A = this chain, B = another copy of it.
Amino acid sequence: MLLPVTKERREPRTRGYRKKERTRRQLIEAGLRVLAEKGQGLTVSDVVAEAEVSNGTFYNYFTDREELLEALAAQSVLALAAAAAKEPVEDPARRFALATARVLLHARADETWARVMLRLTSLRSRTDVDMSRYMREDLAEGFAQGRFDTGPDDAALDQVAGLVLMTIRRMVDGKARRDAPQQAVQRALRALGLDAAEAAELAAEAVAAQS
Binding site for B on A (CB under 8 A): 39-41, 115, 118-119, 121-124, 154-156, 158-159, 161-167, 169-170, 172-173, 175-177, 180, 183-184, 187, 190-191
Mostly, the A contact residues are helix
21 A/B residue pairs, CB under 8 Å, sorted by A: A40-B41, A118-B123, A119-B122, A119-B123, A121-B122, A124-B173, A154-B175, A154-B176, A155-B167, A155-B183, A158-B169, A158-B184, A159-B162, A159-B187, A159-B191, A161-B166, A162-B162, A162-B165, A165-B166, A187-B191, A190-B191
Q: A121–B118 Cα gap in the complex (Å)?
A: 10
Give A22 Cβ to nearest chain B Cβ, in Å. 30
Which 10 residue pairs of A and B lie closest in terms of their CB atoms, listed nearest first?
A: A162-B162, A122-B122, A158-B166, A162-B166, A41-B41, A155-B183, A159-B163, A118-B123, A162-B163, A124-B173
- A115 and B121 CA atoms in complex are apart in Å by 13
Residues on B with C-beta less than 8 A from A158 are 163, 166-167, 169-170, 184
Residue numbers in B under 8 Å from A167 (CB-CB): 155, 158
Complex: A138 Cα to B79 Cα, angstroms: 38
| A187 touching B39 in the complex, CB below 8 Å, given contacts A123-B118, A162-B162 | no
Specify the chain B residue showing the minimal Cβ separation from A115: B123
Expressed in whole angstroms, the Cα–Cα distance for A173 and B119 within the complex equals 17
Tell me, rounded to whole Å, the shortest Cβ–Cβ distance linking A12 to chain B: 41
Residues of B within 8 A of A39 (CB): 40-41, 122-123
- Give Cα A175 to B130, complex, Å: 14
Which residue of B41, B154, B169, B180 is within 8 Å of A123 (Cβ)?
A: B169
